Chain A
Amino acid sequence: MKYISAFFRFWWDFIVGDDWRVAAGLAVALALTWVLEHHGVSAWWLLPLAVGLLLAESVRREARASS
């Protein structure tokens, strides 16, 4: 049991890390890009924009919490 929980903890830390909101935001942005592209809408701009906003919001939140 200890090894199974350590295994899942490793992958959680590896993929999700300290801020689950960033991982959730990325999942939504990727899904939205897929949906738009499969409905004929060019969505190349969506991922860079989403990543920029998620990154800015995440570091802002962390900085505010630690100051």
Chain B
Amino acid sequence: MPLGDTWQGYSPEQLLLERFRITTGFHAGQREIIEQLAQSKRILAIQRTGWGKSLCYQVASLYYPHLTLVFSPLKALMRDQCQRCNDAYAIVAAIVSSDFSDEENRATLEQAIAGNLKILFLAPERLNNLLWQSYVQKMRISMIVIDEAHCISTWGHDFRPDYRRIVRLVQALPARMPILALTATANRRVEDDILQQIGSITQVMRGTMQRPNLYLNVETQSGDLAKLGYLAAILPHIPGSGIVYTTTRHDAEMVAAFLQQQGVSADYYHAGRGDDMRQALEQGLMANRYKVICSTNALGMGIDKPDIRFVIHYQIPASPIHYYQEMGRAGRDGKVAWCVLLYDPADLEIQRHFIESAKPAGRHYDAVLALLRAAPQGMGLYDVMLATGLPQTAVRNILADLEEQGFLEHDAKKRQHRATRSLGQVDYMAYDILREQKLQELHGMRDYTQCNGCYMEYLTTYLGDEPDSACRSCGHCRPSNFPGIRPSERTLVTTAHFLEEDFLPRIEKRGTKTETAHEAGWALAYHSKSRLGKMVRASKYEEAGPFALHLVYRAVEVIRARYPIAEINGIVSVPPTRSGALVETFARQVAAQLDIAYLSALVKVRTTREQKECTNWRQKSKNVEGAFAVRAPEQIAGRTLLLIDDIYDSGYMLREIGQILMQAGVLAVYPFAITKTAHSDDQ
């Protein structure tokens, strides 16, 4: 049937069966939405994840002769839906996005104006694209779909300014054009806001957010030892495959490494892994080749696996809405699935840090603007970081916001920011409000962990359901669903061993593309969380004496096991900031044990501050620039050295030293630190 015609004569059920080959029929509500759309009405559909919102517009599109435009915020979402339209439903669909070249997008747009496409997916940012702008004028459009419509609302958890443009378009479109707005996460306030924006002629069709087949629970577990022990104990008892969500990439890697060691088929997933790898992991998960994928929230969008049997959160997520979406990926097939949140109050800090960085306190905005107003020639990002000491993400966000408010202009070529002539004060009220809102949401998440009643009811009420019924399956409604499984002593021992011995913190190789400063290496443990870290702090800051011999022996063990010991023929150490020979003594002891020469080759040529006094990487980098020199180059030229320090933080110290060693003719520098700090201050 040519695309220009419609399936007007067919009922939705006929279409579902004959065209979509779905034999299970519609949910209550799906049919209603399709009918309304076919009559050119406007609808806001608020339905839980997995309900089948997309099917509504896919069926409805067939009742119209021309194009259906679908606005979506994420390419992964678009890819998923587009593929389903083409492969499963034989609906000709395409995407214009930055995933494709200009030629490919042009070809797609040609198809659109020729009337050969039924559904076209695009992100609202695409509206700025010149190619799009010229082609859209020739398009004939029957229907518009706004996916993830909560992005329209500043009250929602994922407001996107470009969605405001979609709202303006919708307000201007002829009343006879059908419009479908879809979302799974809109509480009453967000719902009202959306309606106010896209017009009161819109009908709302809200379904319950309850997911009766999901069993929710919260486990309070402090620290990695307890959490990993818990995972080791519980996973053998849950059938099928699932996801462990972590807040940081590092934790995703660590949990995966631990589970692998426990004999569980696991791997890690985050935005830092290459595209090919990520695709392979997604496919592996779909084909049940893994028991667990440990991931940041990078995994999920576009994964439509019906039989995810568990979603475990290793750390508390940012808000109940994020939690609802993430755990909501479990049990799409309607069968029982387990959603457990491991709650450690200390984890609230990480989320708070992200919130503060995204929209820093008002006084920081004032400080940055005052700085730039006093520097008419302009300043670069790094200069601002140096002067203010604020984390890089915070500075970036502040500069972007100030530019948006017209106080700064940005010279992209010279990478300078300059104050404009615009007078007046920064309006950070909006940012304060946003930050407060996010903090509120975080507290909402914390309250979930502390609630005494039904967990599912808490979440669904938060999302706008009327509070009516307990779910009868969560850890509070039916504790017997969650028998207390505790890790055995043996498990705890192997877990402790893993944390202290096997999953050593890595020191990444540093340098430029052409010149390496130092190779990769290791530290013995994380600074703040470990026993070893405590020992280091005791010696360094609490006058407990030289670094304990235990540390020396551990270091020697690790160096023998992991470093190219045959090539290393010299050991150097980082000169101290203040007086004291802690590191040198330590290094000499290690050298003695390894029977390799210790060389006092490095000197400090100027004083530096303690690196930990510097609050961002720019300051740390500046702090150590040119602070060191090689005493006698002939002593070290041609050698392969082991470079020892006590604490590895931002890495600028070691990089600086690595560089001057290499310049002095050293063949390679292998770094070693006793401890490493857990989070880099800023990216």
The answer to whether A and B belong to the same complex is no
**B positions within 8 Å CB-CB of A:** none
* A residues adjacent to B (C-beta < 8 A): none
